[in-house]
């Protein structure tokens, strides 16, 4: 069996506050294969960015990984000392954040930053690293890269800066890229270009990509599979076409109903009533139960675990053939 590039098993992340311990991620598991793009979608506060930060070892106190395991190409990385995980970041895991200026130092020419990253991780001379940097800038669509390499970040537009960040993220040939809302700050036309660039990473380099976004449209365009997160857990995960066209979890159904389509322009978009609970007020049982039109007694007591259902895995008692069977028929 092929080892996944990223394997997250039962991940738990908590934040210690003066009053209590808040569980931001509660038993999240998923894999990403070589060349695969996994979209992770959910409302703000669902835990998608925290999951990405846990993978790259950037959960800062008072947050901490409280349980579970994270494997990169079969090697466990969640308990490594900070020095080692820092070496893995940049070399084996590339990162793309919403604001390109998070990754770029405004005081240095972009070429110097890319060359330094290349030379930190790959055994190349200054000249060879500079040539590679120019090639990468061309690869991500920066015009006249041999000139632009000596420009400063502020001399680029937002879209061009995000391309530079992508060049920086891939320059050490990482196995995995974590992209957190990489297109959110960009104009729609630039978004499409960045999306096709991210798609190409998987296809051309075999890079596995974890794409975190609140935008289901971006996921539908980019991803092979999608994980829908709610209140720190995965509600549903499966091939993107299957989940978009036939979502099973009531929350995923609501989320997919909220994607505008050209065919249904005059149709009112579905709104999910209520809002996601705060971390300090997650209800017992299924955390979606106060908002769910299908909730029944068991939902208020038992927490549903993701179970295989066709090509999907879904954490909902409606799809559990054990004790919820009667309720399932009622709700269907």
Judged by CB under 6 A, the residue of 295, 306, 312, 313 near ligand SF4 is 295
Instruction: Tell me whether residue 4 or residue 250 sits nearer to ligand SF4 (CB atom).
Output: 250
Stretch that binds ligand SF4, among 148-156, 200-208, 219-227, 285-293 (CB under 6 A): 285-293
- The CB-of-255 to ligand SF4 minimum distance in angstroms stands at 12
Residue with tokens 């038992």: 302
Using alpha carbons, select from 184, 283, 226, 188 the residue that is nearest to residue 42.
226
Strand partners of residue 234:
229
Report the nearest approach of ligand SF4 to the CB of residue 42 (Å).
Answer: 14
Distance of CA 212 to the CA centre of its chain: 3
Between residues 85 and 316, which has the closer beta carbon with respect to ligand SF4? Answer: 316
Q: What's the closest the beta carbon of residue 48 comes to ligand SF4, in angstroms? A: 18
CA torsion sign for 160, 166, 169, 170 is negative
- With CB under 6 A as the contact rule, which of the stretches 1-9, 22-30, 103-111, 286-294 interacts with ligand SF4? 286-294
Number of residues that bind ligand SF4 (CB under 6 A): 13
What residues have CB less than 8 Å from 284, skipping those under 6 apart?
Answer: 300, 301, 303
State the minimum distance, in angstroms, from the CB of residue 304 to ligand SF4: 5
How far apart, in Å, are the Cα atoms of 125 and each of 109, 129, 190? 18, 6, 34
Per CB under 6 A, contacts with ligand SF4 among 217-256 are: 249-250
Q: Is 292 in the site for ligand SF4 (CB under 6 A)?
A: yes
Q: For residue 273, give the H/E element and its range.
A: none
Which is nearest to 161 in space by CA: 140, 144, 176?
140
Window contacting ligand SF4 (CB under 6 A); options: 162-170, 172-180, 192-200, 290-298: 290-298
CB 227 within 8 A of CB 11: no
Residues that bind ligand SF4 (CB under 6 A): 249-250, 286, 288-289, 292, 294-295, 299, 304, 316-318
């Amino acid at each position: 069996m092929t080892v996944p590039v990223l394997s997250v098993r039962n991940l738990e992340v908590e934040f210690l506050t003066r009053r209590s311990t808040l569980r931001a991620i509660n038993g999240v598991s998923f894999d990403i294969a070589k060349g695969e793009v996994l979209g992770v979608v959910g409302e703000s506060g669902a835990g998608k960015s925290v999951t990405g930060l846990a993978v790259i070892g950037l959960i800062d106190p008072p947050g901490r990984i409280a349980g579970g395991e994270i494997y990169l190409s079969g090697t466990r990385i969640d308990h490594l000392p900070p020095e080692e995980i820092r070496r893995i970041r940049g070399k084996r895991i590339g990162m793309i954040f919403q604001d390109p200026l998070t990754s770029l130092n405004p005081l240095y020419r972009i070429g110097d930053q890319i060359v330094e990253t290349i030379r930190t991780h790959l055994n190349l001379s200054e000249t060879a690293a500079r040539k590679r940097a120019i090639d990468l800038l061309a690869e991500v669509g920066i015009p006249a890269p041999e000139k632009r390499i000596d420009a400063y970040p502020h001399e680029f537009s937002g879209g061009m800066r995000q391309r530079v960040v992508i060049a920086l993220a891939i320059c050490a040939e990482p196995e995995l890229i974590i992209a957190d809302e990489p297109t959110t700050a960009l104009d729609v036309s630039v978004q499409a270009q960045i999306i096709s660039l991210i798609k190409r990473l998987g296809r051309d380099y075999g890079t596995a990509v974890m794409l975190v976004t609140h935008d289901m449209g971006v996921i539908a365009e980019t991803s092979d599979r999608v994980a829908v997160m709610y209140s720190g857990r995965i509600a549903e995960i499966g091939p993107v076409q299957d989940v978009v066209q036939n979502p099973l979890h009531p929350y995923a159904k609501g989320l997919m109903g909220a994607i505008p389509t050209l065919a249904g322009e005059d149709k009112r978009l579905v709104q999910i009533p209520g809002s996601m609970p705060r971390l300090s007020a997650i209800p017992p049982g299924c955390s979606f139960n106060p908002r769910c039109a299908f909730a029944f007694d068991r939902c208020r007591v038992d927490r549903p675990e993701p179970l295989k259902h066709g090509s999907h895995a879904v954490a909902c008692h409606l799809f559990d053939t054990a004790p919820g069977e009667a309720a399932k028929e009622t709700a269907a």
